[in-house]
Structure 1
Amino acid sequence: MTSLARDWLSPPRPALPAVVEDERERRRIKLELLIVFSITLGLSGARSLVSLLNSLLQPTPLSKQQVALNAPQEALDLLDLLAQLLSVVQLIGWGALGGYLLYRGGIKLASVGLTWRGKDALWGVGLAALIGIPGLALYFAAWKLGFNLAVAPSTLDGTWWRPIVLVLSAFGNAFAEEMLVIGFLLTRLRQLAFRENSAVLAAAVLRGSYHLYQGFGGFVGNLVMGLVFGRIWQRTTRLWPLIVAHTILDVVSFVGYSLLKGHLSVLP
């Protein structure tokens, strides 16, 4: 095995952030993790598990059931727009909470990759292609085999604001997930002396858990995405390429589905 392959498969732990030795501070970090994820993506994971169990208990097979990712929240058009925008604000707030807690804990946001570089966009596009094409194939395979629900990325009607909201929602999802699951969680696990492989696996399982409402394919696909994204961050400490890639994946999924629904019979 070459040194390059070994560094990617079993990377050494970086010197920074330093492992926290003080027991009181370690308890504070653990409590912080518990609180943050109990009100954000960890809670979403628990709800997704309940949703999947409910789907499995239905007489209808999983592949015959449908779940919408972006659905109307209010009956009146203007109120629905406001509700959709508030959902985006919540997602960005979740990500900002993780960043703020790192900053208050003495971690510079630049050290987790939240400084923009010119190549971040290009890396993001390439990473989106790397993840998106196999991910789409996995989804369709899981759906056809009966392991996944039919996922409708958007059931919003043809209002003028639909594309804008879908793009903002894509960014909100990307910022919240990558900031919390990668930048925040992996940094805190390093401070708690987790091994790099153990940490990236834990983060990937968390990412998969809050997609369980889609079915087993949604869990596996996002687990793999989490392993790839987590390892790239561990090796590069660049967060923006992950946010860009995730945003592109969701924009293509949300907006593309809205434009192609009714024109391609393969779409649910």
Structure 2
Amino acid sequence: MTHAPDRRFYAWEVGIVLALSLGRSATYAVLQLAERLSIAPLADQTATVQRSRSREEFYDFSFQVLDSVFALAPVALVVYLVFLHGDNPFRRWGLDFRRPGKDWAIGAGLFALIGLGTLGVYFAGRTLGLTTQIVPADVTEYWWTSPVLLLAALRHSLLEEVIMIAYLFDRARRIWPQLTGPAGSARIGIWILVLATAVLRGAYHLYQGFGPGIGNALMGVIFAAVYLKYGRVMPLVIAHFLLDAVAFLAFPLVLQLFGLSSL
């Protein structure tokens, strides 16, 4: 007869998962920000999200695809761990296609809200000198470039939303059972969790400057609130995918459309 893992097991599990994924990214991003601040003003620097990995087309394609495949390994790990303990993570977290219409409606709404907010934060950050010039994609144009960038957008959306929201909220409830206790104490605990995950989300974007760190933390609060309301991570994955897809494929056009090209 098997026994349910105790709270310490889940705490170690969360620590290991974060060390392999977004916790590691946050640590490096903080160090990169400190390095940037020691070199020159942030306004004079550039941060590139996706870049070519080789001058040779075959190797560039291979590296780009492998980057996305290996980056999704932590997502596969948390799904496996939940299955290992007898739960179905896809149904438990709403990472499925049972409600496509509602998921896409919520996801599109979040895309519009966060997208406009991101432009506002970027404008403010660049104006105040708190944000680098962001280049979402600096890649050589091949026939496969757009599909590979869309794969990268899918990778970012799954990695961040499945781990930062669905997985961490699930494990937090197991580590701290009081989160599902009486309404008053549970509500306070949940919002502490919301703020903690939002701060972590902001931290791993700090390599782009303070503006993106603050903007992504606010995005984390909104996404967490939506997840708590609907109990489904799929709308968040959709919204995040749309945000990154537009950024990777059309960021200069978006800036031009809103009169921000000079930034």
Greater fraction of residues in helix: 2
**Among candidates 135, 152, 167, match of residue 169 of structure 1:** 152
Partner of 1:94: 74
Q: Distance in 2 between matches of 1:251 and 1:111?
A: 27
Residue 39 of structure 1 and its aligned partner are, at CA, apart by 1.1
Task: Give 1:26's aligned amino acid.
Answer: R
Superposed CA offset, 1:136-163 (max 9, x none): 1111210121011111001102222211
Letter in 2 for 1:91: A
Report the CA distance between 1:91 and its aligned residue.
2.6
Residue 236 in 1 paired to residue 217 in 2? no
Correspondence for 2:261 among 260, 263, 266: 266
Q: Distance in 2 between matches of 1:145 and 1:261?
A: 18
Q: CA deviation at 1:265?
A: 7.2
Summarize the alignment of residues 1-268 of structure 1 with structure 2, pairs less than 5 Å apart. Answer: 25-58=6-39, 60-109=40-89, 110-116=91-97, 117-118=99-100, 119-193=102-176, 194=179, 195-257=189-251, 266=261
Equivalent position of 1:12 in the other structure: none
Q: TM-score, normalised by structure 1?
A: 0.86
Give CA deviations for 1:32-66 in whole Å, capped at 9, x if unaligned: 011111111100000000000000001x2101100
Paired letter, 1:99: V
* Matched length: 245
For structure 1, the 5+ residue unaligned runs are: 1-21
**SS of residue paired to 2:34:** helix
Q: 1:136 to 1:258 in 2, by over 3 A?
A: closer
Which residue identity lines up with residue 191 of structure 1 in the other structure? R
Equivalent-residue separation in structure 2 for 1:261 and 1:208 (angstroms):
22
1:105 CA displacement = 2.4
Distance 2:28 2:116 in 1: 28
- String of CA shifts for 1:190-247, please: whole Å, max 9, x gaps: 1122521111111111111110101111110000000010111112111110000000
Identity of aligned residues (%): 34
Task: Check conservation: 1:154, 1:258, Cα contact below 8 A.
Answer: no
| Gap change, CA 1:198 and 1:261, over 3 Å in 2 | closer
2:123 and 2:260 in contact (8 A); partners too? no
**Are the equivalent residues in 2 in contact too, given 1:112–1:239 (CA < 8 A)?**
yes
Q: 1:132 to 1:265 in 2, by over 3 A?
A: closer
For residues 162 and 218 of structure 1, what CA distance do their matches in structure 2 show? 25
